[in-house]
């Protein structure tokens, strides 16, 4: 029960500092809706405040409200679940509402390592762009996949021809450069959309 009071207090602080609003939909846990532009500041506060210490980004979930009954407001939402390993049992969800025409949210990769793949997954499944993400590629779906399957308007039965594997060499080079290596001579450059690379693929 102690942790519940604590989370309530954190939510109140977020409301005060970052203009966040309590999410009325969260009836069983504490969630606050924060504007996209305040997200990095709010997360920095959550992570670094000595009393709060939300040091783990547990999950990022995309939500598409397209067919939600009587829904008003932006079409998408991104729900971030945080927890603290210091104040055990302390959890909080942050929600960012994202419009359909400009689905952009600032990245959290600067704060948490786990944000890397979790944001890639949301991008993959919903097409929400995380600005500033160092390597925003698809994660679960195939490199040739077209569309974002967890959007409500993506038909579940739709089939796509996917033939070639992810090349991955440019990513490896990027990783080497990040580690301080300098590429002198590259392996033969092949891009996933090269004709030569796609030879044998039935895709047009």
Contact positions toward another protein, by CB under 8 A? 3, 23, 25-29, 31, 55-59, 61-64, 68-69, 79, 81, 83, 85, 88-89, 91, 93, 112-114, 116-118, 121, 125, 138-142, 149-150, 154, 156, 165-166, 168-169, 171-173, 175-176, 179-187
Give least dist CB 124 to another protein, A: 9
Which element (helix H / strand E) includes 169? Answer: helix 169-178
Question: Which CB sits closer to another protein, 21 or 142?
Answer: 142
Cβ 9 vs Cβ 16: under 8 Å: no
Give least dist CB 9 to another protein, A: 18
Q: Which sign, positive or negative, has the C-alpha torsion 66, 72, 75, 76? A: negative
Question: Which CB sits closer to another protein, 5 or 28?
Answer: 28
Question: Which CB sits closer to another protein, 88 or 146?
Answer: 88
Structure tokens at 95: 């929600």
3 state DSSP class of 186? coil
Structure tokens at 137: 């590629």
Q: Which sign, positive or negative, has the C-alpha torsion 83, 88, 89, 90? A: negative
Give least dist CB 106 to another protein, A: 18
Give least dist CB 70 to another protein, A: 9
Give least dist CB 131 to another protein, A: 21
- Can you say whether residue 113 is alpha, beta or left, with left for phi > 0 and alpha for psi between -120 and 50 degrees? alpha
Question: Which CB sits closer to another protein, 46 or 118?
Answer: 118
Question: Which CB sits closer to another protein, 34 or 116?
Answer: 116
Which element (helix H / strand E) includes 191? Answer: none
């Amino acid at each position: 029960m102690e942790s519940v009071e604590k989370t309530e207090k954190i939510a109140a602080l977020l409301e005060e500092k970052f203009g966040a609003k309590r999410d009325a939909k969260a009836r069983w846990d504490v969630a606050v809706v924060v504007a996209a532009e305040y997200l990095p500041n709010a997360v920095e506060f959550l992570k670094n405040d000595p009393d709060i210490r939300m040091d783990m980004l547990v999950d990022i979930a995309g939500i598409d409200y397209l067919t939600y009954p009587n829904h008003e407001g932006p079409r998408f939402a991104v729900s971030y679940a945080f927890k603290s390993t210091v104040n055990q049992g302390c959890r909080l969800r942050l929600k960012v509402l994202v419009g359909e025409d400009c689905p952009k949210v600032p990245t959290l990769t600067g704060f948490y390592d786990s944000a890397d793949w979790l944001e890639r997954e949301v991008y993959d499944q919903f097409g929400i762009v995380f600005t500033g993400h160092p390597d925003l590629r698809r994660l679960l779906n195939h490199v040739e996949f077209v569309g974002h399957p967890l959007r409500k308007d993506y038909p579940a039965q739709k089939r796509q021809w996917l033939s070639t594997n992810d090349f991955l060499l440019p990513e490896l080079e990027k990783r080497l450069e990040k580690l301080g290596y300098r590429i002198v001579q590259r392996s033969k450059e092949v891009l996933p959309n090269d004709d030569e690379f796609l030879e044998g693929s039935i895709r047009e």
